Structure 1
């Protein structure tokens, strides 16, 4: 047992007290739970669940069957797998979603007011707002429309206390703010009338096929373009199984018609862009050939005019066979030379394109026409594939990632290899041209034997035929390019479009929220109870005393509900009165045990003021007096006298007057309304109270009291504040140390416990005051001290609660 008290400075968390404290907060828990359940219920009934619809599409490698081995207008970059990844990234890119939002004008919404929230009526709106082109419209603020009749409506808005509003131009996407001069507005318009407000410009057109009842209310609201796009991007998903050309797109939104239009339009725009890009090679080729045709046609016309003029002036209408054969031979050489020059020009264009261009996703037709070297064609395909991959990643990946550096390095390496190949091919072409020039020169020298006019005619005719051959070649190429463009089809096939077939909303079990409400109500209670219990250092039950000190517990006194401290006198049948009778019995047993004869003295003290020391002194003295014993209550708390007020006596004269020799004992004793009970108040506050209580006069004072009374009750100062009570213990046969429930701190008992262990104090016991069995800590006490809380509590004692009204009882419950 000794170790138990010597280690009482070590604080151990009282889990039992924590549990009971938590239970004592049940009223707050119930209140928090009710509030939480109400909030969750209100949130649940206001929750608008969205829909989720999907569409399926596949990516095919549809090669144009009209392509020939010599047609180098389109390259296959990466095969079907590369195309699937390209389509997937395009579907996820913000740029693609911006096109869809712009196409459907989804930044403009129509609503009706429901019970708890505005409902999006996209696809079912009975009217349409046609905004003025290039006008700034207010964003984030609803405009109210009320139909008055078949021809007119009321437009109104209320901006509240806003000083300015934000506007956006949905053509160039610029945003600005303007000051609000008239925050509240209402005006009647006719359908198709132009509405010219500072932040809302356009007209409202009524849909003829829809009937609207008069008085129906609708709302129009513009949303910021970027925010609208972000909302769709965040709720749009594309999935693809590995090594599969099948893609599934899903969109979640609160309006099914909007989901259907958005998904299908998204796929349509993707098909359109992919086909347009696929046709771009043919488009570029046609543009290039048209320029060349114009040039060659002009040249051909000049040659024809020159030939006709020469033959007309020289009257030449036929050529000899020999001259014809020679001309044919030279013409063939010139055709070969022209093709070689054309090829040389193509390689020069391709070389210049590689050296000057930074984007190779779309090789222009002039850079590709006439390129038939397999290595160079393969290199172009690889550069296109890498460039497309880079372009696709730029729309969805940050600029500073390492993948761009790797792609750039690969493209640069391919460019260097291709430039070397081009130089080699060009050198070969130049050599062939030189060889043909030599043959032409040899053939032309044969004309020296022909007449001069015939030679000139042959030269002019040869130039004419060459130009005509070139013109016919370009015409054939142009027709081929037009045929390719007309026969191209998209590689994207929509297998299953998005469709409203009665799908239900996405449902979530909202009942789980009530569990969260329960936890949310419980956790703060647990935290508060834990913190208070952990830092709590007050005594809450009589059991706490046995853990803190070796002093015995003499009695337990309940909560005083009397109008003053005379609880025993005013309500002799109360539980408090019975408790003090039990204390009297315990004191008499203690006196008998120590074989005390004659006058008995009892001293009452405590740790600090406010623990009920005076209350206990008055009532202990009262129970002794009511037993027929002559008793005196002496107020020795010279610094803070109290006992006189409850007896309706004054404090003008008292123990101080006797101790300083001013008045004899019979003059300081005052009678009370309690039979056999006298009171000696402390009297005026002296300058030296401690010195008055330890002198010889104090010994004489006690001796005189013993000569005149059977019981002496000493009301002393708190030992935790002054040392006066410790000096008075020698005069007491028994000492009571008052401890008040939920008030006395545990560490306050260390002084008296230490004195008792050292043997400096004896015959001292605890008196537990203000015990409340219904309080927050009414657990674990069953020793039956004081009888008032045992079997005698029902029937023999006055039940004060019975005298309270129902309202007072409820009020007392919530005060606890």
Structure 2
């Protein structure tokens, strides 16, 4: 069998363009090509001519983030911590609270526009007139209010929403319903002004929505804690001012947030220090009163001293009782004339008593010897007896006085002991209360000093914090 012969076409003929066919196609669709070319160029021209230029201003910020995890020695979570903190700062900038701070710091409440045939141009910081709002109601917010100069001192306003017209004078309040506005001529406007103007009183919600829509906050380098802030607007200067204001407000706001914790701690410390000072003053008043009342500032030492005095009085009372017993025996012997009792020395008596007792004993011995030799009625015996009786009565009187003095002393000792015992019963409670107050006072003193040091550290940290 014969194999089929394949149709082989040269490769140079396959890759070549069929110019004849191309020429025929172009010739047949010439008008379409011209129309498409003109349409594209016309559209590009119109878009370029009648579309506003959009300006974008941007800045880069490096966040000063405190890494608590690394300070604690936890290094495994540093990357996640950076991500969380950078994202947290971004969300803070995008938050409504922060945007409201931007609105408050920028003069964006009133927007001024110059009207064109197709486009309106915002006169940011270049308006020939200014509007000062004294009072405004929500029905005037976010709607165009046309401004028409009618003279060097007069003007006319037209509300685009309902077509109402109001005539007023510059620098004189104009009432529009319940709203009050004051307009000022800043550019020597007159009735021959060729430009048309209008202004819009922006509501806070509209401004917040504008900032949130046109502002872009994104992480630039997470490891370096840097973010990128940009804002787009049709007005170049407005975009620059808003980005600069976001930067400055964020730096100030961030610094305030960093110092907020310190301020709260300082305020708390001030309140606690005031309470501690009052408590310490109460304790100091108690210690002062305790010292004046007890003539001492050491309750434990008072207990020891009281116990010592009670024991001392007991010893003195025991010794005095013993002396009184011996004295009573001596006085009884003196009455009964037991001469043997007078021969020994009595240690509990003063020395002169012992000498006089010894003298009495000698006189009694002499009398007894005379009684053996003489009658009791003789002059010599009676004389000696008289001497013995006189000395004995004198001694008895002196011993009685001494006994009375000792009894008074004993009574005083008993009273003093009873008083000490009565005071001693209340001393443990006083000591417990005193020790408790002393312990709390020392604790409060240490706590007070510690809080003073902490307050100083927080104040130094706050003073050293710069935006």
Q: In which range does the TM-score fall when normalised by the shorter chain?
A: 0.5 to 0.7
What are the Cα deviations for residues 671-714 of structure 1, in whole angstroms up to 9, with x where unaligned? xxxxxxxxxxxxxxxxxxxxxxxxxxxxxxxxxxxxxxxxxxxx
With over 3 angstroms needed to count, the CA separation of the structure-2 counterparts of 1:284 and 1:95, relative to structure 1, is closer
Q: Secondary structure at the match of 1:220?
A: strand
C-alpha distance in 2, partners of 1:19/1:50? 42
Alpha carbons of structure 1 residues 491 and 325: separation in structure 2 relative to 1, 3 Å = farther
Q: Does 1:190 align with 2:170?
A: yes
Hey, what does 2:394 align to over in structure 1? none
Q: 1:299 pairs with 254, 263, 279, which one? A: 279
Distance between the aligned counterparts of 1:78 and 1:450, measured in 2? 70
| Residue-by-residue CA offset, 1:771-806 (whole Å, 9 max, x unaligned) | xxxxxxxxxxxxxxxxxxxxxxxxxxxxxxxxxxxx
- Unmatched runs of 5 consecutive residues or more in structure 1: 1-14, 70-75, 160-164, 166-179, 327-447, 494-816
Q: Do 1:145 and 1:153's aligned partners in 2 also have CA atoms closer than 8 Å?
A: no
Partners of 1:228 and 1:454 in 2: how far apart?
Answer: 77
Answer yes or no: is 1:108 the counterpart of 2:87.
no
Deviations 1:258-299 (CA, angstroms, capped at 9, x unpaired): 222211222233233333333333333334334433433333
Partners of 1:324 and 1:130 in 2: CA distance: 83
Q: Hey, what's the Cα distance between the residues in 1 that align with 2:67 and 2:434?
A: 45
Question: Larger helix proportion, structure 1 or 2?
Answer: 2
In structure 2, C-alpha distance between the alignment counterparts of 1:99 and 1:257, rounded to whole Å? 20
Q: Give the match for residue 228 of structure 2.
A: 248
Question: How far 1:185 moved relative to its partner?
Answer: 0.2
2:289 corresponds to = 309
Q: Name the residue aligned to 2:88.
A: 86
Q: CA RMSD of the aligned region, Å?
A: 4.7
Select which of 121, 141, 144 maps to 1:142: 144
Find the counterpart in structure 2 of residue 8 from structure 1: none
Separation (CA, whole Å) in 1 of partners of 2:44 and 2:274 = 77
CA-to-aligned-CA distance 1:309-368 (integer Å, 9 cap, x gap):
3443x3615549956999xxxxxxxxxxxxxxxxxxxxxxxxxxxxxxxxxxxxxxxxxx
Which residue in the other structure is 1:119 paired with?
121
Following TM superposition, by how much is the alpha carbon of 1:230 offset from its aligned partner in structure 2, in angstroms?
3.6
Q: Once the two structures are superposed, what CA deviation does each residue of 1:167-203 show, in whole Å capped at 9, x if it has no partner?
A: xxxxxxxxxxxxx4xx230302231x33321375333
TM-score for the superposition, normalised by structure 2: 0.53
Q: Show the counterpart of 1:470.
A: 444
Task: Give the superposition deviation at 1:58.
Answer: 0.6
1:232 to 203, 211, 225: 211
Q: Distance in 1 between matches of 2:200 and 2:95?
A: 26
Aligned to 1:807: none
- Among 233, 238, 261, which residue is 1:258 paired with? 238
Matches of 1:324 and 1:254, distance apart in 2:
91
Q: Paired residue for 2:156?
A: 155
The size of the alignment, in residue pairs, is 319
Partner of residue 54, structure 2: 50
- Report how far residue 88 of structure 1 moved: 3.1
| Cα distance change, pair 95–318 in 1 and its aligned pair in 2 (3 A) | closer
Deviation of 1:37 after TM superposition, in Å, equals 6.1
> Shift of residue 231 of structure 1?
3.6
* C-alpha contact 2:273 2:451 (8 A) present in aligned 1: no
- Paired with 1:252 and 1:320, the residues of 2 have a C-alpha distance of 80
2:349 corresponds to: none
Q: CA deviation at 1:465?
A: 6.8
Corresponding residue to 1:212 among 188, 211, 223: 188
Q: For the structure 1 residues 213 and 472, does the alpha-carbon distance in structure 2 shift closer, same or farther, using more than 3 Å as the test?
A: farther
Q: Which residue, out of 182, 187, 198, partners 1:203? A: 182
Deviation of the 1:47 alpha carbon:
1.9
1:724-755 CA-partner distances (Å, limit 9, x unpaired): xxxxxxxxxxxxxxxxxxxxxxxxxxxxxxxx
State the SS of the aligned residue for 1:212. coil
Say which SS state the counterpart of residue 200 (structure 2) adopts: strand
TM-aligned CA distance change 1:225 to 1:475, over 3 Å: same
Give the Å deviation of 1:49: 0.8
How far does the alpha carbon of each residue in 1:550-576 deviate from its partner, in whole angstroms, 9 at most, with x for none? xxxxxxxxxxxxxxxxxxxxxxxxxxx
